[in-house]
């Protein structure tokens, strides 16, 4: 009996909860109208949850996304995982899924980038759409740089030099681009390195604060956009298959254990080295499509990711592989 005397009326608890959670009223307004102090109102709202007067829940598919985010983040020790919810009717619409994931990638980059940051970018279809979604009203004085050279036979809209210039325009920042080919002959390797050194890129690579890229899938099928260009010779593709290449990242070819494939391509590539890439504080990979699950896992194994932004079905496939120890 005494406890009832000293506790707030259930009617008041219900009314306060309704006004706060349903009507969206301010706490100060509710406290005044109900004659409660701010501290008492906090206690009342807490009691509303504890006694089941108000229930707060995350609906599907958002709940599943949140659960998968937590599972992937904790398993691989990542800073952030964003799993983008995709309606079931869009499961086979790869372009719409890519755009949804790219949108979340753009939002994330704009949330974290700040003045004087060095943002390193790679080429690709996902990056093309990500840039489309950058809010031009949010300016930041950052330095946007390319992390690798150009790609023969590449759609000019997807070329890294073009993407970096457009990103700097969106942010209102500066840009610096590598204008030589991403892959050279062994005879031109010294010339390639001299160019990177003289243009200051070898030092710039060490100063990158944030990198953002997609990832190419090369296993079980060579589905990567990179192999569909004129970048690789037929013999190079054959060699990579023999080396069990799994993915490509920053023009670097990664095996299933997250290590760079030991081929002549490694020393002929105008790109940030994998060792330097690992030192970047925030390495963001934005990817979509279930076929990229093994590629994502190879990057995770190699500690090549800090922030992972992927679609719902790709997250499902990634966790499915883990459950089956594939």
Q: What single string gives the DSSP state of each residue in 155-213?
A: -TTT-HHHHHHHHHHHHT-EEE---SBSB--GGGHHHHHHHHHHTTHHHHGGG--EEEE
Q: What is the pLDDT along the chain (326 residues), one digit of tens a residue?
A: 444 434 568 899 999 999 999 999 999 999 999 999 999 999 999 999 999 999 988 889 999 999 999 999 999 999 999 999 999 999 999 999 999 999 999 999 999 999 999 999 999 999 999 999 999 888 999 999 999 999 877 888 888 999 999 999 999 999 999 999 999 888 888 899 899 999 999 999 999 999 999 999 998 888 898 988 888 889 998 999 888 899 999 999 999 999 999 988 998 999 999 999 999 999 999 999 999 999 999 999 999 999 999 999 999 999 998 766 65
What is the fold of 2-50? Arc Repressor Mutant, subunit A (1.10.10)
- Only one residue has tokens 């700040």, namely 114
Please state at what angle helix 27-34 crosses helix 10-17, rounded to 10 degrees. Answer: 150
Q: Where in the chain is the domain with CATH 3.40.50.1360?
A: 62-323
pLDDT at site 294: 95
83: β partners: 310
pLDDT tens-place string over residues 256-278 = 999 999 988 998 999 999 999 99
Q: In the chain, which ranges are E strands? A: 80-84, 118-121, 143-146, 174-176, 210-213, 216-217, 245-249, 252-255, 282-287, 307-311
* Residues 264 and 186: beta-carbon distance below 8 Å: yes
- Secondary-structure breakdown of the chain: helix, strand, coil percentages, each rounded to the nearest 5: 50, 15, 35
The sign of the torsion formed by the CA atoms of 131, 132, 135, 136 equals positive
pLDDT at site 185: 83
Q: Where in the chain is the domain with CATH 1.10.10?
A: 2-50
pLDDT at site 8: 66
* The dihedral formed by the CA atoms of 159, 161, 165 and 170, expressed in degrees to the nearest 10: 40
Q: 62-323: what CATH class? A: alpha beta
pLDDT at site 6: 40
The pair of three-digit structure tokens given for residue 298, joined into one six-digit string = 């190879």
- How many helices and strands (H and E) does the chain possess? 14, 10
* Residues 27 and 20: beta-carbon distance below 8 Å: yes
pTM of the model: 0.89
C-alpha separations of 211 from 68, 78, 171, 204, 307 in Å: 23, 15, 15, 12, 10
């Amino acid at each position: 009996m005494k406890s009832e005397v000293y506790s707030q009326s259930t009617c008041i608890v219900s009314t306060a909860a309704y006004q706060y959670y349903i009507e969206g009223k301010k706490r100060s307004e509710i406290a005044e109208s109900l004659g409660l102090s701010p501290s008492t109102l906090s206690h009342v709202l807490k009691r509303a949850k504890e006694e089941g007067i108000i229930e707060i829940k995350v609906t599907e598919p958002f709940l599943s996304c949140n659960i998968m985010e937590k599972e992937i983040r904790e398993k691989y020790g990542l800073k952030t995982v964003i799993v983008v919810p995709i309606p079931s009717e869009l499961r086979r619409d790869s372009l719409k899924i890519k755009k949804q994931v790219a949108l979340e990638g753009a939002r994330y980059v704009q949330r974290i980038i700040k003045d004087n940051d060095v943002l390193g970018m790679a080429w690709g279809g996902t990056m093309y759409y990500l840039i489309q979604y950058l809010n031009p009203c949010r300016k930041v004085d950052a330095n946007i740089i390319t992390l690798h050279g150009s790609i023969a036979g590449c759609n000019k809209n997807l070329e890294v030099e073009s993407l970096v210039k457009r990103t700097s325009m969106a942010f209102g920042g500066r840009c610096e681009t590598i204008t030589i080919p991403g892959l050279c002959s062994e005879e031109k390797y010294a010339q390639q390195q001299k160019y990177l050194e003289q243009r200051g890129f070898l030092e710039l690579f060490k100063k990158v604060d944030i990198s953002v890229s997609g990832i190419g899938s090369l296993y079980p099928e060579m589905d990567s956009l990179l192999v569909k260009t004129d970048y690789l010779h037929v013999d190079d593709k054959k060699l990579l298959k023999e080396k069990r290449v799994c993915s490509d990242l920053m023009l670097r070819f990664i095996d299933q254990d997250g290590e760079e494939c030991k081929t002549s391509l490694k020393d002929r590539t105008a790109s940030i080295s994998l060792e330097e890439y690992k030192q970047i504080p925030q390495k963001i990979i934005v990817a979509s499509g279930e076929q990229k699950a093994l590629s994502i896992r190879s990057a995770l194994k190699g500690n090549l990711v800090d922030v992972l932004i992927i679609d719902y079905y790709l997250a499902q496939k990634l966790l499915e592989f883990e459950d089956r120890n594939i």
